[in-house]
Amino acid sequence: MPEKKKLKVAILWHMHQPFYLHPDTKKFMMPWVRLHGLKDYLDMPLLAEKYNIKATFNLVPSLLDQIEMYCLGYTDRHMDLSRIPSRDLNTAEKKEILQTFFSAQYPTMIEPYTRYKQLYRKKESCANDIDLAAEIFSTSEWRDLQVWSNLVWIDPSFRDEYRLNSLFRKGRDFTEEEKHRLLDLEIDLLKKIIPTYQRLFAEDKIDISFTPYYHPILPLLIDTDVAREAIAGIDLPEKRFSHPEDARWQIEKSCEKFYSLFGKNMAGMWPSEGSVSEGALKLINDAGIRWVATDEEILLQSKMQESSGKPSAFHAYEYIGALGTKIFFRDHGLSDRIGFIYAGWDAERAVSDFMHNLSLLRDRLKDNLDNCLIPIILDGENAWEYFPEDGNRFLSRFYEELATSEEFEVVSLTDAAETLLARSLKKLFAGSWINHNFRIWIGHSEDNMAWDMLSDARQALVDYQTRYPDADPEKMQKIWNQIYIAEGSDWCWWFGDEHIGTHNSDFDVLFRTHLSAVYKMLDMEIPSRLMQPIHGGKLESFVSLPESLITPKLDGLLTHYYEWSGAGSYDCLKAGGAMHRVDVYIKAIYFAFDHDSFYIRLDFDDDFDLVGLNNCRIVIDFKDIGLREILLEKVREKAGENMTFSYNRILEVKFDRKTLTGSGNGKIEFFVSLYSGNEMMEKWPFDKPIAVELPEKDKEIFWQV
């Protein structure tokens, strides 16, 4: 019997963090390189080796620079605060610890650990009174918090090997000696990261690619006007930024870094955020890079320009203006299932679902398996914070299934580029993996202001070199590095209103600090605009609070236009867009109350068959109260003493206020999740619960503008 042909699957994990080093203090402003180094950068390649999966790891050169700096003794603020003896912490340091040491996903990194959860709840019990919270923690509690905020970031696969389980078992009342031993161990782990990639690459067990050096959006460096290709009417900066020489530097320096670490020329590149254009691809091709990858929507848009019908993303392509560099297009449905959906599923069921979807693709492609490839490309670090045990169970089962499959073969993208025949692309659409455009990084007034500041600083440097052609080359290179750092994509990621978090102002300060350093090093006056924040400081929320008492009719329909007028809401579409999630089933959550009851309404995607979904459940999880489950497959409505619901076009639910708070007033917090059987399809919000204050009867005050 002839051997069954296998469909090729390529997996690329993108490892990236911004460049956090402050040019003045020489300290890292944020700890995420170190913490993700402990949690993701070492175990991921080792797990691939364990299961003989030749995955491609895309590394950012400036990320590797920061890992090397930690190994040389550089520190970050979180690490410095962790090392201070707990008895010596002053009030300001205590407040800073309370505001930053719980920066972890609560369900997977705080809630499972009794002591960490106790400390979190103690801090939360003070609400917004940070002064009170700073007073009520004991010396031992401060030390335990210092330990736990580091300990949970150590990947589970290392906890036995490095005898950390004794700390997990002990749980509390740690000593200063134990704390410092943990912090020293962190550096030991970081020192293993780069040698591990070097060894596995040399042994041909993994593939490695890089992005351009400081993770810039190459097409925008070449010419910001390229943004109009996807969005014709987009607002652009006052000063057109067009410096292909900078894009070339970012590519060539990346190639040099690769050769210095791995002793070979770099074969492939995931351009920052999958951003491509014809100009960018020509520069990549000039550097001898044999493959790049981007999103399948770029292929669709490129072929639409050719008017040649819907293309297949499961082949290699070559743009006629850059022959010799093959282009792969990520399967964005399968990639996003790992990134956004499977975290709430049982690992066995998640892998079964993934393999089923792969099998469906294999059936579609069965007549051309030899020349087909399914590229699975996604973030290799952030997704795992939402998985139990940092995704180890899922990844182990996932790799095991692929390694033993008779239908699929995991190949590296470099190997695929060597063996697959390429189809021709006459045009290459300019865009990124996010909505096939560049709106995240340009177009908003804040983004455009940042581009203009970058233009001004760069021009100041060019003018200086024109006036002083004999200036010290080493000094000039250090100044140019500040420009190249400021060209990174991460600054504009946090400008505008697409991504709002607790660190927007930190990124704002660091961006302006890099540009200010250019003027300082040139002994020039720093422009006053660099002293003013770019980010407006308005934290966009997906939640709006109730504006009046309402009593809707529970019939599963929007009975009349004003029925839910005055209710609070959570915009799932906007929240999903902020995560760049493609499929959103619950579009919106509305919530409201009257004197006796609390109401929740769910609106669904028009094409989503809620009742037809297998064993569909809606779970409303009231924090510290418990779960309320609505099984819609078996019943569309239910009337009870404590919960009543009705589903038709929408789902409307009523709760007795006293069952939620005892007294009927006070703060309630809740999540809403959609399940099919035991598989979580969605959870809203994905981080912190929706919080509502139920006032006492006849004491309701609604502030409206």
Neighbours of 136 (CB within 10 A): 12
State which residues of the chain have pLDDT below 70: 1-3, 162, 306-309, 537-541, 561, 577-583, 609-614, 631-635, 641, 698-705
How far is 437 from 433, CA to CA, in rounded Å? 8
DSSP-assigned beta bridge partners for residue 680: 675
Query: Is residue 373 within 8 Å of residue 328, measured between CB atoms?
Result: yes
How far is 588 from 574, CA to CA, in rounded Å? 9
How far is 515 from 456, CA to CA, in rounded Å? 9
Radius of gyration of the chain (CA): 27
Burial of 518 (0-12, 13-18, 19+ CB in 10 A): buried
Show me where the domains of the chain are located: 68-202, 445-531, 543-694
pLDDT tens-digit map of 423-439: 999 999 999 999 999 99
**Residue 503: per-residue pLDDT:** 82
**Residue 612: per-residue pLDDT:** 63
pLDDT tens-digit map of 94-147: 999 999 999 999 989 999 999 999 999 999 998 878 899 999 999 999 999 999
Neighbours of 480 (CB within 10 A): 17
Q: Pick the closest to residue 273 from 323, 218, 311 (CA basis).
A: 218
H or E element, residue 71: helix 61-71
Query: Is residue 283 within 8 Å of residue 244, measured between CB atoms?
Result: yes
Phi, psi of 485, rounded to the nearest 5 degrees? -65, -45
Phi, psi of 571, rounded to the nearest 5 degrees? -90, 95
Phi, psi of 423, rounded to the nearest 5 degrees? -90, 160
CA 439 to chain centre: 17
How far is 142 from 412, CA to CA, in rounded Å? 46
Query: Is residue 588 within 8 Å of residue 569, measured between CB atoms?
Result: yes
How far is 101 from 109, CA to CA, in rounded Å? 12
Q: What is the DSSP string of 648-660?
A: SSSEEEEEEHHHH
Q: Which long-range contacts (CB under 8 A, 24 or more apart) does 129-135 make?
A: 130/95, 130/98, 130/99, 131/95, 133/98, 134/91, 134/94, 134/95, 134/98
CB proximity list for 484: less than 8 A, separation 6 or greater: 213, 214, 216, 246, 249, 250, 253
Query: Is residue 338 within 8 Å of residue 346, measured between CB atoms?
Result: no
Residue 313 three-state SS: coil
Q: What is the 3-state secondary structure of 264-281?
A: CCCCEECCHHHCECHHHH
H or E element, residue 587: strand 586-593
CB proximity list for 307: less than 8 A, separation 6 or greater: none
CA 507 to chain centre: 16
Q: Is domain 543-694 in CATH 2.60.40.10, yes or no?
A: yes
The residue count for the chain? 705
**Residue 538: per-residue pLDDT:** 57
Which stretches does DSSP call E strand in 417-548?
A: 422-425, 543-544
pTM, two decimal places = 0.82
Q: Pick the closest to residue 442 from 226, 244, 215 (CA basis).
A: 226
Burial of 386 (0-12, 13-18, 19+ CB in 10 A): buried
**Residue 705: per-residue pLDDT:** 31
Q: Helices (H) and strands (E) in the chain — how many of each?
A: 24, 22
Q: What is the dihedral of CA 255, 257, 262, 265, to 10 degrees?
A: 10
CB proximity list for 476: less than 8 A, separation 6 or greater: 465
CA 378 to chain centre: 10
Q: Which long-range contacts (CB under 8 A, 24 or more apart) does 634-639 make?
A: 636/556, 636/611, 637/554, 637/556
In eight-state DSSP terms, residue 595 is S
